[in-house]
Amino acid sequence: MINITKTYLPDKEKYKKYIDEIYENCWVTNNGTLVQKLEKRLAEYLGVKNIVLVSNGTVALEIAYRTLGLKGFVITTPFSFVATTSSLVTNQLLPIFADIEKNTFNINPKKIEKLITLNTSAILSVHVFGNACNVEKINKIASKYNLKVIYDAAHAFDVKYKEQSILNYGDISTLSFHATKLFHTIEGGALIINDDELVQKARYLINFGIKNEEEIPHLGTNAKMNEFEAAMGLCVLDDIEKIKNKRKSLIENYKKELKGLVQFQEQNNNATENYSYFPILFKSEKELLKIQKALNSEQIFPRRYFYPSLDTLEYIEPKQECKISRDISKRILCLPVFVELSLKEQEKIIDIIKDNL
């Protein structure tokens, strides 16, 4: 069986050494030594000022909203994983969808400004599949209307924009370190925040709002990363270049073999790629379903990322229609990409696609 991805597991003995350390000091959570070490190493590796590790990528978004004190409407993209939208709704924020660009799959800045009202507090954009969105245009709009900007960078680990981390843009960027991601901590996530005061607020918020033994200034939650997850992250980070290089070779081979047969995502020319996903776009949903069925019959399971378009969710009010997102979501398929995928397995995937187009 070949799934869309397979979790990268580092050397077991290296991980065990960290586990032995945890057992020795009995510090398993509450900002343990390994969490502190991972935060420091990640900040250095990614080229960011502050990073706050949390229990998952969804809660990273929720903490970002609370840290910035968002209220009312938030303009966002309908083409993303459902957590981008559901995290807004569960925090009493109303998602207002701006349609996407048909080639980059990212939010279209030209669609944002006309949606802004007096009740709008922020723009929540996504670097879809790690492809850097137009941060300069988005930030310009936000400055004009005094809006906060959050970038859901769940897929954008180690992406550079104009030679600096894409994570440095906006008020807060969030990451997901789920086991399916390029870099993972089993479950986990992070907030990247340049403002030191906001960093401190975020740290209170992930620990029930507690400042010290006598003060609880904020309404918080329990969003802390534990030591076992941090240990996994430290091990995976040691191997990240190997991981990226293997994924790069797979994606370059996909592109070479499928060029002219399907459409590829248009990449931001000012940004680097991190090879986290490989989406392909078919001419029609019918063509996609034919290919998917053929692959499934051979125990190969790509994924329809992202389907359905989030503006079609039943619990979203008012009803909104984003035609480009709905069209793309029906025709897009992400192919398997992971370190252990062999060239022979990849060739089988490619042959099946070619034979059924």
Q: What is the pLDDT of residues 239-256, one digit of tens each?
A: 999 999 999 999 999 999
Same domain, 125 and 217: yes
Question: Of the candidates 223, 238, 253, which is a domain's last residue?
Answer: 238
Check residue 69 and give its pLDDT. 97
Please indicate, yes or no, whether residues 162 and 254 belong to a single structural domain of this protein: no
Q: Is 181 an annotated catalytic residue?
A: yes
Average pLDDT over residues 259-276: 97
pLDDT band (50, 70, 90) for residue 335? very high
Q: Looking at the 3D structure of the chain, how many domains does it have?
A: 2
pLDDT at residue 212 tops 90: no
pLDDT of 334 reads 98
Per annotation, catalytic residue among 181, 201, 224, 244: 181
Q: What is the pLDDT of residues 143-165, one digit of tens each?
A: 999 999 999 999 999 999 999 99
Confidence of residue 214 (pLDDT cuts 50, 70, 90): confident
In a shared domain, residues 74 and 29: yes
pLDDT at residue 318, rounded to an integer: 87
How much is the average pLDDT of 93-107?
98
User: Distance (Å, rounded) from C-alpha 141 to C-alpha 321?
Assistant: 22
pLDDT category of residue 79 using cuts at 50, 70 and 90: very high
26 and 129 belong to one structural domain: yes
* 8 A C-beta contact, residue 104 and residue 268: yes
**What percentage of the chain exceeds 90 in pLDDT?**
97
Six-digit token string for 132: 């850097």
189 and 281 share one domain: no
Point out the domain boundary residue: 218, 238, 258.
238
Whether 233 and 293 share a structural domain: no
Contact 97, 194 (CB under 8 A): no
Helices (H), the chain: 12-25, 33-46, 57-68, 83-89, 135-145, 196-205, 227-238, 240-258, 285-296, 323-331, 343-355
Whether residues 193 and 250 share a domain: the answer is no
Does residue 261 share a domain with residue 169? Answer: no
What is the average pLDDT across 199-206? Answer: 97
Range of the domain at 176: 2-238
- Which string of DSSP letters, residue by residue, matches 69-100? T--SEEEE-SSS-THHHHHHHTTT-EEEE-PB
| 321 and 273 belong to one structural domain | yes
Is residue 180 domain-shared with residue 260, that is, in the same domain?
no
State the CATH number of the domain containing residue 260: 3.90.1150.10
| Mean of pLDDT values over 194-221 | 93
Contacts of residue 99, defined as CB under 8 A and 6 or more positions apart, other chains included, come to 78, 107, 108, 111, 322, 323, 324, 325
Domain end marker among 179, 205, 238: 238
Residues 199 and 258 grouped into a single domain: no
How many CA atoms, within 13 angstroms, populate the side-chain half-sphere of residue 278?
24
